Amino acid sequence: MSIYNTHNEVTLLGPIIKDIHIIEPKGMMIATLTIATNELKKNKDGKYEETSDYLQCKLFGKMANNIVTMCGKGSVVFIKGKIRNNNYTNKDGKKVYGNDIWVSEFKIITGKKANVRPEGVSLVDDKSFDDTSLPF
């Protein structure tokens, strides 16, 4: 047990840049998608350059089904979740280190068709939502 308070929460806003990968081990759907995020950074010459990060996100169960149904490559989504380690040993015996975002909530900014925003769509995984922390 840690004596320090810790917090692991990530929010992302960006387009899905590849087709969503789906697997269904043991009957539960898992959707893996990659979100691109951009930022401007000043280089050594004082000029601004745009840099991009590509972040792998995983959705499980009902949320996985919902995002596959309503989104695809090019859809812009707002993602909320946690960073989880994805470390493994590859077939050559080398340790591979990585991170995934395990999504707890997502909102669709634009759906499968360009400039289409489903009205009132906000999807929260019922299992991870804890209403005891609400102020009302």
Query: Is there a contact between 59 and 101 (Cβ–Cβ < 8 Å)?
Result: no
Alpha carbons 8 and 22: distance in angstroms, whole number: 25
Query: Is there a contact between 11 and 79 (Cβ–Cβ < 8 Å)?
Result: yes
Distances (CA, A) of 2 to 5, 6, 8, 9, 18: 7, 9, 14, 18, 39
Domains recognised in the chain with CATH numbers: 1-87 (2.40.50.140)
pLDDT at 125: 45
| Amino acid identity for residue 95 in this structure | K
Average pLDDT, integer, range 57-71: 95
- The whole-chain average pLDDT of the chain stands at 85
Q: Which two tokens stand for residue 64?
A: 């996985």
Average pLDDT, integer, range 67-92: 94
More confident residue, 11 or 1: 11
Length of the chain: 136
pLDDT at 3: 76
Q: Which two tokens stand for residue 18?
A: 């590849």
Q: Which two tokens stand for residue 80?
A: 């909320």
Q: Is the pLDDT of residue 52 over 80?
A: yes
| Strand spans (E) along 74-130 | 76-85, 88-89, 95-96, 99-110, 123-124
More confident residue, 26 or 60: 60
pLDDT at 113: 52
Average pLDDT, integer, range 85-106: 95
Q: Is the pLDDT of residue 37 over 80?
A: yes
Q: Which pTM value belongs to this model? A: 0.73
pLDDT at 111: 77
- Residue 1: which pLDDT band, with cuts at 50, 70 and 90? low
Alpha carbons 62 and 65: distance in angstroms, whole number: 5
